[in-house]
Amino acid sequence: MVRMIKITFFHVEVGRLAENDLLKKTSLANKTELQSM
Protein backbone atom coordinates (compact mmCIF):
# COMPACT_ATOMS: atom_id res chain seq x y z
CA MET A 1 0.00 0.00 0.00
CA VAL A 2 2.69 2.48 0.98
CA ARG A 3 4.72 1.49 -2.06
CA MET A 4 1.78 2.25 -4.34
CA ILE A 5 1.38 5.70 -2.82
CA LYS A 6 5.09 6.37 -3.26
CA ILE A 7 4.97 5.27 -6.90
CA THR A 8 1.97 7.47 -7.72
CA PHE A 9 3.55 10.43 -5.92
CA PHE A 10 6.74 9.87 -7.92
CA HIS A 11 4.74 9.82 -11.17
CA VAL A 12 2.98 13.05 -10.22
CA GLU A 13 6.31 14.73 -9.46
CA VAL A 14 7.83 13.54 -12.74
CA GLY A 15 4.75 14.68 -14.65
CA ARG A 16 4.93 18.09 -13.01
CA LEU A 17 8.62 18.43 -13.83
CA ALA A 18 8.01 17.40 -17.44
CA GLU A 19 5.17 19.92 -17.69
CA ASN A 20 7.36 22.71 -16.35
CA ASP A 21 10.12 21.71 -18.76
CA LEU A 22 7.68 21.80 -21.67
CA LEU A 23 6.37 25.20 -20.63
CA LYS A 24 9.90 26.58 -20.37
CA LYS A 25 10.83 25.17 -23.78
CA THR A 26 7.72 26.53 -25.47
CA SER A 27 8.12 29.96 -23.88
CA LEU A 28 11.77 29.98 -24.97
CA ALA A 29 10.77 28.99 -28.49
CA ASN A 30 8.13 31.73 -28.56
CA LYS A 31 10.66 34.31 -27.39
CA THR A 32 13.22 33.29 -30.01
CA GLU A 33 10.53 33.35 -32.70
CA LEU A 34 9.48 36.85 -31.69
CA GLN A 35 13.10 38.02 -31.67
CA SER A 36 13.80 36.53 -35.10
CA MET A 37 10.80 38.41 -36.48
Write down the pLDDT at residue 1. 66
Q: How far is CA 27 from CA 10, 18, 37, in A?
A: 26, 14, 15
Single pTM value for the model: 0.53
Largest CA distance in the chain: 54
pLDDT in tens, 1-37: 688 888 888 889 999 999 999 999 999 888 888 787 6
Q: What angle do CA 26, 34, 24 make, to 5 degrees?
A: 20
